[in-house]
Structure 1
Amino acid sequence: MVVVDNELWIEEQFGQCDFGDSRRTKRMKLVAANMLAGPEKSLPGQNTQWSELKAAYRLFDSTEVTFESTASEHWNNTKQTRPGRYLLISDTTDINLNTHKATTGLGILGDGRSRGVQLHSSLVYDSERGVVVGQAGALLHYRKLKPKGETRAQRLARVRESDLWGNLVDQIGPAPQGSQWIHVFDRGGDNFEAMCHIKKTGTDCIIRAAKLNRIVLNQSGEKVSLNEACQDAQLLGSYTLNLRSRSGVAARKATLEVSVTSVTFLLPHRKSQWVKQCGIKTLEMNVVIVQEVNAPEGVKPIRWVLLTSLPAETFDDAWQVIEDYENRWLIEEYHKVEKSGCSIEAHALRTTSRLEPLLGLIGVIAVRLFQLKLVGRNQPNAKAKTHVPKHWLKCLKLLRPKVKVSELTVYEFFRELAKLGGFLGRTGDGEPGWQTIWRGYKEMHSLLDAMRLLGQL
């Protein structure tokens, strides 16, 4: 992955957005540039001139500027994957806007005492190069209180939170020729309908099972619970995992056994109208079970039951599925960037129709911050002079004159950049986070602006 300047990156992500007027597209690029310069700030903090701030408010008030129209250009760019193997990692996060009492149209969160919106996103990860490509799509959901006395059939007939998983698969669509797309879901995506959406798009999946008591057909064609089918799985091998300490649990080495089986999912007794009409009656799935053995007394043993359309005949097959699922942390970290790096929950606008395009913009900006964190780690040996803008190297040389900039790798360049943002780089400090990298980038960018004013770039 070659890192480009903010100006070029903004043009790539927003330059072709269709807002019904080229002036709105130009304004969106200006708002995006101001947000990149201070992603943690509010809109007034990013657009410091009153004329700029009014223009930003007018932009988000336009009916042509929506969540989808703001982010669609980035989504389309992301989905143009070159031949290879990609994970589409999805999850839902709550955007808590409870402090913004004046904002109308929000849904409920948690136990119903908080207000906000649920954001369901899919992040594309190139598993061969170890690179976050971008966001493939996203949906917003406003949860309502469950009507009193609602029946199961009535619930299936209305829009449900569980619909997000399948609807986002449809929004993203099939993979380009030569690309293998693998949807990676946590337990929230374990439902027959979501699996049908994946099958109809011709993509693959890895889903952590949540409903272990559901009835399936085992390898002998017998009706058993999924949990019972797992008990007859074939043991392929084991491995050791070092677990860090957490609240109430000491660090330990866990021995994990890997087993596999296959099952057939049956059409649910109660199903939505979409499932009735999609034409899929059964779904065949391989199952990879990761089970901790000899866990310490009083400690709940690790157990993953992973449903997948990928091959799972050998230990190497199963290990690939496990390794893919372990990359789920990327979407969780991405949502942290949206919340802490871009202060997504701090922005206050009067209506959800104005808020939605702002959420779409923040989702794209967060990709930029997250990519800068990972690019150095994923290309440790690539030369900075071929993967980083030349004036970035020139600027770093001025800020850190003792560093031999011409000899830096991409990994070393971003560590030096993070040091400008407060990263000490001592033995045992680990790797810099996106916050120190971004603070260092802003330090460098201030010098770049000064150099442009002086005509040195």
Structure 2
Amino acid sequence: MYISGQYFSKDTLNWVQATINEQPSMSMRELSRLVCQKLDWRAANGNLCQVSCRKTLAELNRRNILELPQKEQFYDFQQKKAASNNFEPPNVDCTLDQLGEVNVYPVASRYSKDSKLFFHLLEQYHYLGNGSLCGAQMRYLIHSSTYGHLGALAFDSASWAVKARDKYIGWSEAARRTNLHQVLRNARFLILPTVQVCNLASYVLSIALARLPQDWEQRYNIRPVLVETFVDPGRFSGTCYKADNWTLLDNQTAGRRDGVPKNIFLKPLCSNWREVLCREPQKKLGEIPLPEEPENWAEYEFGAIRLYDDRLKQRLFNIAQDFFADPEGDIPKASGSKARTMGAYRFFQNPRINMDVILDAHKEATVERIKEHPVVLAPQDTTTLNYSAHPMTSDLGPICTSEDTLIGLLLHDTLAFTEEGIPLGVLDAQCWARDPEDEKKRERRKELPIEQKESIKWLRSFEKVCEVQKLCPDTKLVSIGDRESDIYELFSSALEDPQAPRLLVRAEKSRNRQLHDDSLWEYVFKQPVSGSLKIHVPRSGSRKARDTWMDIRFTQVTLKPPKRLNKHGPATVWAVYVLEQEHSDPIEWMLLTTEEVPDFQTAKRCVNWYANRWGIEVYHRTLKSGCRIKNRQLGTADRLQACLGVDMVVAWRIYHLTMLGREIPDVPCTAFFSDAEWKALCCYVYKTSTPPEEPPSLQQSIYMVAGIGGHLGRKGDGPPGTQTLWRGLQRLDTATEMYTIMNPQAYPNMPSGP
């Protein structure tokens, strides 16, 4: 769980509780120090965040997650400071010039005389008393060279969330949580009541804020950019803040602390304060741990989502399960009730929800699956999403030629597969609509830099695979692309880092690359045949599927950069040439790879890698025909993309189940189905009220699901496909719900009958 911006795993919480039980007399100071050291919980200046840790432990105790010792704890800085009996407030009634030099200087130590004086002034003369400041803090005394001390002021950490302030700044939830430490609060401001000097308060504010950023940075290694304060309108009008050019916001605070709404004043400390505060944190894979004990598959796949509202998270879990239970249904049908339907529509309309936010969480789970395999293939491909049936949807664009009137979105994604073809998850997804006004962009493609072309999609996806490769050093990732990905910039990027993923691209013959006196194709064709390989060619259009033998040649080649890329050096790669034997329309592949190919076995492996690229096209067919994404009606392209993020994970899970039954048929079905699901399945299929004691194998369960979905299981039918599994899963969902209703003792947390 995340609390106070720090993640506490179940093991960490158990360790903290064990430490408390072993040493019940340990002080909170010592306990917080041990916890901070274990978590390496430090501030920007390198100091342990012991105060934040103590607050966090108290909150965990309040939630009954931890049990802290029940005893009183007192510290010197919490006790009231002794009154400074030697101080006599000066009676001053003069102009600002007559005060002499007015100085604002910091209180160096809480044990110093200045500290005692600071607390005495606030306790005696401030209507809120000395109180306790929150978190990091700076205290100042106001001194006149003529009359002595005139007052005090203090700054501490900003309020966690203020609706009017946050709206004025314009930052996102993630930016607020990341950059809030650069906002300070003027917590106390006191000019002694015996001091009557016009403009003194605004002058003190100006000189205090002039030195505050440097003082704060020196102490905490953080430079603040904005200061806030809250003024009780029943007591003060905030004239001094207005005179010092503070901004009074239109709305007040909610007044939850004492029931009195306060006026909000803000003062920037630098010119680019909004840019600094609105800067989004860099999102890195592997930063957010996965749920330790997820209740269902949706919580595991989306548990690491970067949302800070648990209600939104739970809504996402429910939507994903509803979509998986009825992938062919529209949103109202899949949701099952009006309340869940309205909740789904509100979820996709939320400005904080988009496809990247949803898929980033799924990527975290995908990375964990990738780590379990020595080699993982990462093919990337582009497909079109046709929404022409809903022309009123805004922000769509053309998806075909200018003569065609079809509109929709383009999707370029990267999936992770094992060498056996089992899909592990989505690694990257880019979705966009073409500009209908830019019809002649293709004619200008040679003049444009790659950043302004759609071809940049290949480089962006490869960069995402590079991020995953860094998190999985024991796994070899292979980025695979078809002929459209044959761009020189991609090879150049792949060869920059020896630790980068391997690149495997099918060459485009029209590139007309030259090697020595021959073209690339002629040069490689002259190499001797190193061996033959039998591969399965899937159906494509009118071409039937077939098993065929392919001759393989390979050699190392050096590619020269095109004229427009003279700054790039030559790229040395390996070429694997594949030609089908004795066929009227033979298959011919020229594969270019950064994987070293010293022998026929490696060349054959590269060919098999590329042949497995077909899996991403099967996935696209699953996504479009199975999840029926073209039937989504959400009004705008942004909402469609957010919904697409959920649909992509649902389509992956269906495809994942289909391939698991073929590749690892003998494992228990509990690897995929929950306890209630496999028992309900057996009872439904065998027409009995008593499930077997042992779960069936995964293959048996998949055939049972496919059977209730319409798969006949005849000798020539082959293994079940995704469509029969979709239909079977829908009926299984209903059977599981009925099974849990009829067995309330075994499943007390499931909904029961009326």
TM-score tier (shorter): 0.7 to 0.9
Q: Is the 8 A contact 2:561 2:570 kept in 1?
A: yes
Aligned-partner SS, 1:137: strand
**1:16 positional shift:** 2.9
User: Judging changes above 3 Å, is the alpha-carbon distance between structure 1 residues 57 and 243 closer, same or farther for their aligned structure 2 residues?
Assistant: closer
Q: Distance in 1 between matches of 2:375 and 2:711?
A: 34
Change (3 A) 1:157 1:255: closer
Distance 2:731 2:655 in 1: 18
Residue 480 of structure 2 is matched in structure 1 by: 184
DSSP 3-state at the match of 1:105: coil
Which structure 1 residue ranges, 5 or more long, are not aligned? none
Matched letter for residue 557 of structure 2: V
TM-score scaled to structure 2, two decimals? 0.54
CA deviations over 1:335-381 (Å, ceiling 9, x no partner) = 11111111111112221122211111111111111111111101023
- Matched residue of 2:300: which SS? helix
8 Å CA contact 2:661, 2:702 repeated in 1: yes
Q: 1:245 to 1:146 in 2, by over 3 A?
A: closer
Bigger shift: 253-262 or 182-191? Answer: 253-262
The SS at the match of 1:425 is coil
**Deviation, structure 1 residue 244:** 7.9
Distance (Å, rounded) in 1 between the aligned partners of 2:385 and 2:540: 26
1:26 aligns with 2:314: yes
2-side partners of 1:20 and 1:30: how far apart? 17
Question: Post-superposition shift, 1:395?
Answer: 1.9
Aligned-residue offset at 1:430: 0.7
**Paired residues of 1:287 and 1:305 also in contact (CA < 8 A):** yes
- Is contact 2:465–2:479 with CA below 8 Å preserved after alignment? no
**Separation of aligned partners in 1, 2:507 and 2:610:** 12
Preserved contact between residue 166 and residue 198 of structure 1 (Cα < 8 Å): no
C-alpha distance in structure 1 between counterparts of 2:702 and 2:544, whole Å: 34
Instruction: Indicate whether 1:292 and 2:587 are aligned.
Output: no
Q: Distance in 1 between matches of 2:479 and 2:526?
A: 27
Structure 1 residues 48-57 or 336-345, which shifts more? Answer: 48-57
Identify the residue that residue 61 of structure 1 maps to in structure 2. Answer: 349
TM-superposed CA distance for 1:231, in Å, is: 2.5
TM-fit CA distance, 1:405: 8.1
Name the residue aligned to 1:42. Answer: 330
Alignment partner, residue 664 of structure 2: 379
Structure 1 Cα separation of the partners of residues 535 and 443 of structure 2: 45
Structure 1 residue 171: Cα displacement: 2.9
For the pair 1:162 / 2:455, whether they are aligned, the reply is yes
Q: Distance in 2 between matches of 1:209 and 1:405?
A: 55
Of the three residues 622, 630, 633, the one matched with 1:337 is 622
Aligned match for 1:319, one of 596, 604, 613: 604
Greater CA deviation, 163-172 or 436-445? Answer: 436-445
Structure 1 position 237 matched with structure 2 position 520: no
* Closer/same/farther in 2, CA of residues 251 and 187 from structure 1, 3 Å limit: closer
Cα-to-partner distance string for 1:74-105 (whole Å, 9 max, x where unaligned): 01221232151100011111001112111111
Q: Is the 8 A contact 2:506 2:591 kept in 1?
A: yes
The worse-fitting range, judged by mean Cα deviation, of 8-17 and 230-239 is: 230-239
- Structure whose alpha-carbon radius of gyration is higher: 2
Query: 2:351 is aligned with what amino acid?
Result: T
Identity of aligned residues (%): 27
- 304-313 or 379-388: bigger deviation: 379-388
**Corresponding residue pairs, total:** 439
Equivalent in 394, 413, 422 of residue 104 of structure 1 = 394
The residue that corresponds to 2:492 in the other structure is: 196
Displacement after TM superposition at 1:246 (Å)? 7.7
Shift of 1:259: 0.7
- Paired residue secondary structure (2:409): strand
Q: 1:356 to 1:314 in 2, by over 3 A?
A: same
* Secondary structure, counterpart of 2:736 in structure 1: helix
- Given candidates 283, 296, 299, the residue that maps to 2:571 is 283
Where 1:319 maps in the other structure, the secondary structure is: helix
**Cα shift readout 1:292-313 (whole Å, capped 9, x = no counterpart):** 2332xxx222111111112323
Q: Given the superposition, is the C-alpha separation of residues 415 and 250 from structure 1 closer, same or farther in structure 2, using an over 3 Å criterion?
A: closer
The answer as to 2:686 corresponding to 1:401 is yes
SS in 2 for 1:188: helix
The residue aligned with 2:710 is 422
SS at match of 2:530: strand
Secondary structure, counterpart of 2:415 in structure 1 = strand
After TM superposition, what 4+ stretches of structure 1 lie above 6 angstroms from structure 2? 242-253, 402-405
CA distance in 2, matches of 1:84, 1:264: 29
SS of residue in 2 equivalent to 1:345? helix
CA RMSD of aligned residues (A): 2.8
Amino acid across the alignment from 2:563: H
**Cα offset for 1:214?**
3.1
Change (3 A) 1:73 1:261: same
Q: Following TM superposition, by how much is the alpha carbon of 1:158 offset from its aligned partner in structure 2, in angstroms?
A: 5.4
Mark the CA change 1:64 to 1:223 in structure 2 (over 3 Å): closer, same or farther: farther
For the residues of structure 2 that align with 1:69 and 1:248, how far apart are their CA atoms? 40
Alpha-carbon contact 2:524-2:577 (below 8 Å) kept: yes
Structure 2 CA distance for partners of 1:419 and 1:281, relative to 1, 3 Å:
same
Q: Assess if the C-alpha contact under 8 Å between 1:87 and 1:126 holds in 2.
A: yes
Match of 2:422 among 120, 131, 138: 131
Moved more, 321-330 or 58-67: 58-67
Q: 1:148-201: per-residue Cα shift (whole Å, max 9, x none)?
A: 796455432653221111111113333121111001111111111222333346
Q: Quick one: which amino acid aligns to residue 126 of structure 1?
A: T
Displacement of 1:409: 2.8
Q: Secondary structure at the match of 2:347?
A: helix
- In structure 2, what residue type is equivalent to 1:376? G
Q: In the TM superposition, what are the counterparts of 1:107-126 in structure 2 within 5 Å? A: 107-112=397-402, 113-126=405-418
Aligned equivalent of 2:339? 51
Q: Secondary structure at the match of 1:173?
A: helix
| Residues 13, 387 of structure 1: alpha-carbon distance in 2 compared, 3 angstrom cutoff | closer
Q: 1:240 to 1:324 in 2, by over 3 A?
A: closer
Name the SS for the 1:100 alignment partner: coil
AA at the equivalent of 2:439: K
1:445 equivalenced with 2:733 (yes/no): yes
Match of 2:562 in 1: 268
Q: Is the 8 A contact 1:70 1:360 kept in 2?
A: yes
Alpha-carbon distance change, 357 to 130 in structure 1, aligned in 2, over 3 angstroms: same
Structure 2 counterpart of 1:94: 384
Q: What SS does the corresponding residue of 1:41 show, helix, strand or coil?
A: coil
Mapped partners of 2:351, 2:714: distance in 1 = 51
Change (3 A) 1:354 1:246: closer
Question: Structure 1 CA distance, aligned partners of 2:453 and 2:395?
Answer: 17
Q: Which amino acid aligns with 1:60?
A: F
Shift of 1:62: 1.8
Q: Distance between the aligned counterparts of 1:444 and 1:434, measured in 2?
A: 15
Residue 426 of structure 1 and its aligned partner are, at CA, apart by 1.1
Call closer, same or farther: CA 1:434–1:115 in 2, change over 3 Å: same
Shift of 1:210: 1.0
Task: Give per-residue Cα distances to partners, 1:314-355, cap 9 Å, x unaligned.
Answer: 221111011111111110111111111111111122211222
Q: 1:131 to 1:301 in 2, by over 3 A?
A: closer
Q: 3-state DSSP class of the match of 1:400?
A: helix
Encode CA deviations 1:218-274: one digit per residue, 9 max, x unaligned: xxxx26422232222231022455768887768877442111122112222124xxx
Return the alpha-carbon distance in structure 1 between the equivalents of residues 642 and 387 of structure 2: 16
| Amino acid aligned to 2:490 | A
Which consecutive residues of structure 2, in runs of 5 or more, have no partner in the other structure? 1-292, 748-754
Query: Which secondary structure does the structure 2 equivalent of 1:234 belong to?
Result: coil
TM-score normalised per structure 1:
0.88
Any conservation in 1 of the 2:421–2:615 contact (CA below 8 Å)? no
Aligned partners of 1:38 and 1:46 also within 8 Å = yes
SS across alignment from 1:286 = strand
Secondary structure at the counterpart of residue 238 of structure 1 = strand
Q: Which deviates the most, 58-67 or 222-231? A: 222-231
